[in-house]
Amino acid sequence: MRREVTLRDVAELAGVSSRTVSNVVNGYANVTARTKERVQRAVDELGYRPNVLARNLAQGRSGQIAVVVPYLDTPYFAELLQSVIRAARISGYNVLIDQTDGDPEHERGFIAHGSRRLLFDGVIFSPLGLDQQALADRDPALPLVILGERTSDGTFDHIGIDDVAASRQATEHLLDLGRRRVAAIGDQPYATGEAAQLRTRGFRQAHEGRGRPVHEDLIIGTPRFNRPDGARAMAHLLDGENPPDAVFCYSDLVALGAIHAILARGLRVPEDVAVIGYDDIEDGRYSNPTVTTISPDKEWIATTAVERLLLRIGSSTPPPGLELRAPHKLIVRESTTGTISRQ
């Protein structure tokens, strides 16, 4: 029978102390990237698996973290969750996943005082229905990392994307192609629509920076960032007296719906209407045409969220909350230029 691989075995192979290996597998931050990589190679080579049950029983923990998102049928969240699960598994944690549909009461149940705390040790949370004040009323003892557009109050970490800068870059791409009437699909001018509002702000800033007027009749709202809403909004734009020759969609799903509506009218993408999306989901890489998009670094978001949450779980004195911005880049594909750039 094969002997069980121990933490000491990993330490010897990696040339570090057992304490250092423990810090790496538990997600503590006081380890250099080079040392962490060396330890991880040893972990993978030996097939080491931490004795999570014993460790958690000794520390009074469940060994599970919760990841709470609005929708599981959205490819962006599905892809993000895969990365979160991988990052958590490396540190010996299981992941509980819940879909809230943006329901405020359901979301509040995950952060209320004492709620469900026996089920998980901390939460990675992308709220849709809760506003900033509701987050402030949470259980302060709950280790929490927020994704999206609710800023930190100093007691939890917030990981977001610079939606204004990214949306400005997307819109500038269309304007720099010589498009004269650029539309925007996805505005949400209500209390919990911060991400959409920031993307609209970036859309406006791009026009201002290029000295071009914003066509207010071409800014169209949608209740969700999905294909049907994108298709309906695009059909509405095409029915107007002066339809757009380009459109910035606030998600790739919206872009896919918009492209469907354009092609259904016998028009061409990008010759008649150029389309750019946001999220860089896999569907957009294999659609026809492929979708130009803003690509947030989902792997970075997931890994950073897990690292920060485990740091909070493992600390008797939680660190101050951080505001962290994920990298993003423009990926140019067929829906705006007719060609795919080498990235």
In 10 A of CB 154, how many CB atoms? 9
User: CATH says 7-50 is which class?
Assistant: mainly alpha
Between CA 120 and CA 122, with CA 121 as vertex, the angle to 5 degrees is 100
Topology alike, domains 7-50 and 163-296+330-337: no
What's the pLDDT at 56? 54
What's the pLDDT at 1? 46
Of 84, 89, 25, nearest in space to 55 by CA = 25
Of 294, 295, 292, nearest in space to 335 by CA = 292
Please give the average per-residue pLDDT across 65-88, as a whole number: 93
Each residue's pLDDT tens digit, 130-148: 877 888 788 888 899 999 8
User: CATH says 65-161+299-324 is which class?
Assistant: alpha beta
Contact present, 254 and 222 (Cβ < 8 Å): yes
> Which three-class secondary structure state does DSSP give residue 144?
strand
DSSP annotation of 27 reads T
Token pair in block for residue 218: 């071409």
In 10 A of CB 196, how many CB atoms? 23
Higher pLDDT, 192 or 78: 78
Q: Give Cα 341 distance to the centre of its chain.
A: 24
Mean per-residue pLDDT over the chain, rounded: 89
pLDDT greater than 70 at residue 296: yes
What's the pLDDT at 130? 83
Of 165, 77, 93, nearest in space to 126 by CA = 77
Contact present, 65 and 123 (Cβ < 8 Å): yes
Contact present, 271 and 242 (Cβ < 8 Å): no
Of 107, 97, 98, 101, nearest in space to 135 by CA = 107
Each residue's pLDDT tens digit, 166-223: 999 999 999 999 999 999 999 998 777 889 999 999 999 999 999 999 999 999 999 9
φ, ψ for residue 152, nearest 5 deg: -75, 145
Please give the average per-residue pLDDT across 50-70, as a whole number: 70
How long is the chain?
343
Higher pLDDT, 57 or 244: 244
User: CATH says 163-296+330-337 is which class?
Assistant: alpha beta
Token pair in block for residue 288: 């026809």
Please give the average per-residue pLDDT across 154-168, as a whole number: 93
Q: What are the boundaries of each domain within the chain? A: 7-50, 65-161+299-324, 163-296+330-337
pTM of the model: 0.80
Question: How much of the chain, in percent, has pLDDT values that exceed 90?
Answer: 59
Rounded to whole angstroms, how far apart are CA atoms 32 and 220? 47
